[in-house]
A and B are shown apart, each in its own frame.
Chain A
């Protein structure tokens, strides 16, 4: 799995930190606040219960006590329910009947032993506190004081605190995201500079003054680009020198052998044979050097322009003694493609030469169209290319097995490598397959637009 990016990690760390902090703060606040509120509420409940108990006690102190009447005189409001346990019987106001289940037995025991007790319980109508006050003549007065309001307050408090904690977490994440963007912004200029350099602008440099903290990065980046451009310049100059130093003597060789060739009839047989050999090798050497220099020259961009490829293909065929009828154009006789003419002419020429050398001559040159590419196919009737060789033949200096068996070393071993190079320069590719019916089929695909 891919590791998440730096920004995500920093933002997540900020969020986690904010969450831990705000959650613990919220939990502590909740705890303190709720305890204080509950304690206050319990004190109130106790005080009210005392008051009620003294009222009831007063009502019971008469000869014939009217217990329901005494209970009715209590001002209990809506939250409190009063109960009286006297001589094994429970008394309550009519509205409060059936509440005896809410009195915990343990509390009742304590009250019967004469102790004032208080306990929090949960009733059908929410949490409440039960206060028990022992009265003389083995009576117990109980008040069930509902804490629903307090409970709701606490719930609201909990909700608010949770929301605050969540908000703080989100803010933490956002802050982390923002901060990393600020911190990483100088790296954008580094990225931009690197892109420019990739695009061929070797003069792109970073200004170390803009971001003092990143000075080490900018300095080493600039040093790297200096080195790179120096090396490229060295390579370019070397290639140019090699080119010049090879081309000049070749010019002399070429011109001098053409003179020898022209006056061959004045030479004796032995010398004429030597001149034939010399002339052939000079031509081949010349082609080899031209191909090598073409391969070494990597920096030329593809110059696309409309090219009448059908016309060009017929010319290339005629120049090699092939009838123009071998050229077939899908869907008509004309085809105009937007490609680099020089490169395409070399692709075609080299494939035709290859077919002649290893496949007994091209029997078909097809110009077709795929949805997003121009397609050139060259067929021959030779032995074909074995599947295990189908990638290697596009490497440099790989010549056909059959060719070496025949001792024919006419080719430079660079022709197909150049075809591949030109195809790739267009953003396309070249492949070789079996032609139905025997022989090889070379297929070149050139995308319609530069990728």
Chain B
């Protein structure tokens, strides 16, 4: 059974979401603070982590950073905040997805399923390696290397990179990437922008002047040699 760790300080929300998600077939463990959540995740890693942003003590952003520093567990933010800069900050801290309260349990569960599917599925058929000059992507091994050195990317980042690598030199729009990587019919295109930004930090020599992962103004992104 799939395990979800829910880090949420509001007891009522934690309890109601636990009940709702259990109905959807998940095993839910709750944590009222970021510290408790991080301890829980160290003790027995869950398959997915749901985290609120406004937490007492260590806040949600820091919690995401610490979770991300350890592994690539899918992280979904469940927050009452819907300001652009909160969303972007949370995604930049390392979250894979962001939902705004109130979210229907069915919707949340659909997003978790999509995340898990993404994490499991290998997007590209048996291709040993996609080579972009000094950047190499091995879809089967789940590895990315820059000049032979391994780069740690999250599952979402890896999916995004594979999707772009499959169409070398071709522009993919934000909407197309949302649909293929996040499996959303439509959604917040900032998700794409933020993940592209994080990928550049990892694979580009100068993230401000990207060589491989370039923006095509008004159209989208492409990956090139």
Chain A contacts to B: CB under 8 angstroms:
240, 243-244, 247-256, 258-259, 262-263, 286, 289, 293, 300, 305-308, 312, 315, 338, 341-342, 345
Contacts and interface: CB of A to CB of B under 8 A. Distances in A.
A255 B13 contact: yes
Interface of B: 10, 12-13, 15-17, 19-20, 23, 54, 78, 80-84, 100-106, 173-175, 185-186, 188-189, 218-219
A338 B219 CA distance: 10
A247 B15 CA distance: 16
Nearest to B19: A259
A255 B54 contact: no
B54 A342 contact: no
A341 B13 CA distance: 31
B101 A251 contact: yes
A258 B219 contact: no
B189 A305 contact: yes
A244 B9 CA distance: 14
B186 A250 contact: no
Contacts of A286: 102
A211 to B, nearest CB: 37
Nearest to B12: A252
21 contacts: A248-B101, A249-B12, A251-B10, A251-B101, A251-B102, A252-B15, A255-B17, A255-B19, A255-B20, A256-B16, A256-B19, A259-B16, A259-B105, A289-B102, A300-B84, A305-B174, A305-B189, A306-B173, A306-B218, A315-B186, A342-B188
A303 to B, nearest CB: 8
A344 B104 CA distance: 23
B173 A247 contact: no
A341 B17 CA distance: 30
A262 B16 contact: no
Contacts of B16: 251-252, 254-256, 259
Contacts of B23: 258-259, 262-263
B175 A248 contact: no
A29 B218 CA distance: 75
Contact of B186 (A244, A262, A305, A345): A345
Nearest to A285: B102
Given A306-B218, A341-B175, A254 B81 contact: no
Contact of A258 (B20, B100, B188): B20
B82 A250 contact: no
Nearest to B22: A259
Contacts of A307: 175
A243 B20 CA distance: 23
A154 to B, nearest CB: 77
Contacts of A342: 188
B84 A251 contact: no
Given A251-B101, A259-B20, A300-B84, 17 more contacts: A243-B81, A244-B80, A244-B81, A247-B80, A248-B13, A251-B10, A251-B80, A255-B13, A255-B16, A255-B19, A255-B105, A259-B16, A259-B105, A305-B174, A307-B175, A308-B175, A341-B186
Contacts of A244: 54, 80-81
A248 B218 contact: no
